[in-house]
Homo-oligomer: A and B are copies of this chain.
Amino acid sequence: MSTTSGRARRSGAQTRDEIRRVAMRLFTERGFDATSTRDIAADLGINQSSLYYHFKSKDEIVASLMQSRREEVEEFVTWLKAQPRTPDLLRTAALRWLDATTEEHIHAQRLALGSQAASQRRFRGGENSVPVAFEEVIAHFVDKDTPPEEALYVRTLFNAVGSVIMATFGRETAPADILAAARRVVMAMTSYEGGSGGREES
């Protein structure tokens, strides 16, 4: 919704926040590397060099995009350390963290995941890419009547290895450990029969 294909809108009076908003959207859609400062400026309807009045560098833009989320992590850590060590703390903490995730956080995370769209576009490209081929697997368990979040659940299940890899976050991890963890994830996700997913009002 809103300005779907908005480019070159007005000129003048850009604020830091407007730049941040556009940059977030473009970084999310195309990835950081694939988004040039010219792209950002063009979308705002201003000149590329004008960005440098508001930000010292392209890196500073992305850094400012990440800042708020970081502060929330610190608050979460503070809360966590104040909790008694009960057996269900793991679940409680995980759910609390999840509930603190807003829509904007999801955008930020998409960005932080690392140029998702950008590189994936490269690998999707053809008809004969892995993701396209994998759609048949998903289709085997999901049809048009499947609730969206359930379809997503199935997708996530078959991407268990990917989920674990993402969680390693660049640290060196033995492939055997990745596979072992992924196996646990698969077992857990196919054992759970939590009805509609256990949504609770808070």
Binding site for B on A (CB under 8 A): 31-34, 59, 62-63, 66, 69-70, 73-74, 76-77, 80-81, 88-91, 93-95, 97-98, 101, 103, 105-106, 109-110, 112-124, 126, 128-131, 133-134, 136-137, 140-141, 148-150, 152-170, 173-175, 177-192, 194, 197-199
Contacts and interface: CB of A to CB of B under 8 A. Distances in A.
B163 A62 contact: no
A37 B169 CA distance: 25
A140 B81 contact: yes
A181 B120 contact: no
Contacts of A175: 103, 106
Contact of A153 (B120, B128, B158, B181): B181
Q: Which 5 A-B pairs have the closest CB atoms?
A: A188-B192, A163-B163, A114-B119, A149-B180, A91-B190
Given A81-B140, A187-B194, A189-B188, A122 B59 contact: yes
